Structure 1
Amino acid sequence: MIDFHCHLDLFDDPHQVAADCEKAGIYVLSVTTTPKAWSKTAGLAKGKRYIRTALGLHPELAHERFGEVSLLERLLDETRYIGEIGLDGSPAYRSHSEVQLKVFERILGSAQDRGGRIYTIHSRGAAEAVVTSLQKHRCGPTSVLHWFSGSKSELKSAIALDCWFSVGPAMLRSEKGRGLAAQMPRDRVLTETDGPFARMGKRPLTPADARIAAAELAVLWAVTEAEAVAQIKRNLKELLTRIPGAA
């Protein structure tokens, strides 16, 4: 199973969640929200075969932590994954759109100058601007749009850039989310949970819950769950070939 977007360091007992993932053979991309969290978060993957750590600066924090971009740039050589980064145009954060964009574009530019990275990207309420930036920096083919919630036309624009998408149980609970997922090229879809932020009832989703997303995708694709899981694994394998050293 694959959880390509999870805030592993923010669980109540992250070491136990990491150990459970390793024991179950769940591939996890553990994202960070600020560069200063990198060292502690990366430590959760130490000695683990299935956990990779992404270096990020969340758009909701960009206006408070923009001074950490230089730290992120110094850490770039330590990982082949960048995230969570992106833009957030929701009402609570759209007033910070200018600084978000400066941070996002600087990160993309710096990473592309280092040979590119695999990106996991936040685009809530800002899909059009995100796609424009990805096109500008020519990084669509290694960019994974996490929990995409844009319009159908924005989805088409992202597909045209050869972007990837990660979908989770929370996204697939809504009619809109299922509708968007059904239109995504199935060879560019991965599963995620966005745990512990995303929840199922009163409990946070954990990486093991990525199987729920795989089961939902099987229904959308009209295939068996085993076939859906096999497709998602093939997709991950293909994505990892696009950046040397990412596997």
Structure 2
Amino acid sequence: MHCHLDLYPEPRQQAEAIGKSGSYVLSVTTTPSAWLQTQALSADHPRIKTALGLHPQLAAERLGELSLFDRLLPQARYVGEVGLDGSAECKPFWGEQVRVFDHVLASCALAGGRVLTIHSRNAATQVLDALQHHHGYGVAILHWFSGTKKELRRAVDMDCWFSVGDAMARSNKGRELLALIPSNRVLTETDGPFVTHRGSPISPGHCDHVVSFLSGQWGLDELATRTLIVRNFRQVISL
């Protein structure tokens, strides 16, 4: 439910591989101007969906693309990567981040709601506050959640979903958080090409490691774990 297909060195080859595998993959974008070209990568692969995004780390320099976001939104069922980033390097343009995220949520609400994949690094409380303020935005999937346990419980109470990947399952904090996420709110992601596997960018649909981890955590065999994750996915897209 979250990878950057357009940022792989050979995105068309990755799209072909996804098509052959039969995986469902949500390809996110970091700017509205990248959406049409990224969507074209999946023209022959109906199980690859492209999300319309404006990444918080690019909020200041791409603020002018909000009007393009609004023009493209009627064509997009998914929105992402969007959200807020409270890291030190992003604090100088926090105001622009808030303006962009509020605009995105308001636009999604006006459009009848969308499925959103949301960045919340060092800003989980502020992201959740924004979601509470904008009723009708749609369905929130918190990508690679790294907030506190208290913030996680709040997100669960707010009916948020969580997309989790290899990197989360490999860190102590990530495993602690995964233990608290209800199994019926979990989706898988890769965040490729930013996550690596054996020294190379992880492929967009390579979720074997995190599925194996979740299988052990939930006390299910891997087939039952995959079945549950697919069921969760189908519920999300039905909302």
Per-residue deviation, 1:97: 1.2
Deviations 1:7-26 (A, max 9, x none): 00111111111111111111
Q: Distance in 2 between matches of 1:177 and 1:205?
A: 18
Per-residue deviation, 1:91: 1.1
The one-letter code matched in structure 2 to 1:105 is D
The one-letter code matched in structure 2 to 1:115 is G
Per-residue deviation, 1:29: 0.1
Aligned to 2:208: 211
Q: Distance in 2 between matches of 1:113 and 1:147?
A: 27
The two structures, once aligned, show a CA RMSD in angstroms of: 1.1
- The one of 15, 25, 37 equivalent to 1:40 is 37
The 5 A counterparts of 1:46-125 are 46-125=43-122
Deviations 1:167-192 (A, max 9, x none): 00011100110110111111110000
Say which is worse superposed, 151-160 or 200-209, in terms of deviation: 200-209
Conserved? CA contact 1:141–1:161, under 8 Å: no
- The one of 180, 184, 187 equivalent to 1:183 is 180
Q: Secondary structure at the match of 1:142?
A: strand
1:223 aligns with 2:220: yes
Aligned to 1:168: 165
Q: Distance in 1 between matches of 2:87 and 2:198?
A: 24
Q: Distance in 1 between matches of 2:178 and 2:136?
A: 21
Normalising to structure 2: TM-score of the pair? 0.97
Per-residue deviation, 1:52: 0.3
1:23 aligns with 2:30: no
Aligned to 1:233: 230
The one-letter code matched in structure 2 to 1:129 is Q
Q: Distance in 2 between matches of 1:62 and 1:223?
A: 41
Conserved? CA contact 1:38–1:55, under 8 Å: yes
Task: Give the gaps of 5 or more residues in structure 1.
Answer: 243-247
Q: Secondary structure at the match of 2:88?
A: coil
Q: Distance in 2 between matches of 1:97 and 1:211?
A: 36
Q: Distance in 1 between matches of 2:72 and 2:199?
A: 36
Conserved? CA contact 1:140–1:162, under 8 Å: no
Conserved? CA contact 1:33–1:58, under 8 Å: yes
Q: Secondary structure at the match of 1:6?
A: coil
The one-letter code matched in structure 1 to 2:60 is H
1:130 aligns with 2:119: no
Conserved? CA contact 1:54–1:79, under 8 Å: yes
Runs of 4+ in structure 1 deviating by more than 3 angstroms, as ranges, are: none
The one-letter code matched in structure 1 to 2:158 is L
Task: Give the gaps of 5 or more residues in structure 2.
Answer: none
Q: Distance in 2 between matches of 1:65 and 1:220?
A: 41
Per-residue deviation, 1:211: 1.9
Normalising to structure 1: TM-score of the pair? 0.94
- The one of 139, 149, 153 equivalent to 1:142 is 139
Aligned to 1:245: none
Conserved? CA contact 1:140–1:161, under 8 Å: no
Deviations 1:111-137 (A, max 9, x none): 110100000000000000000111111
The one-letter code matched in structure 2 to 1:97 is W
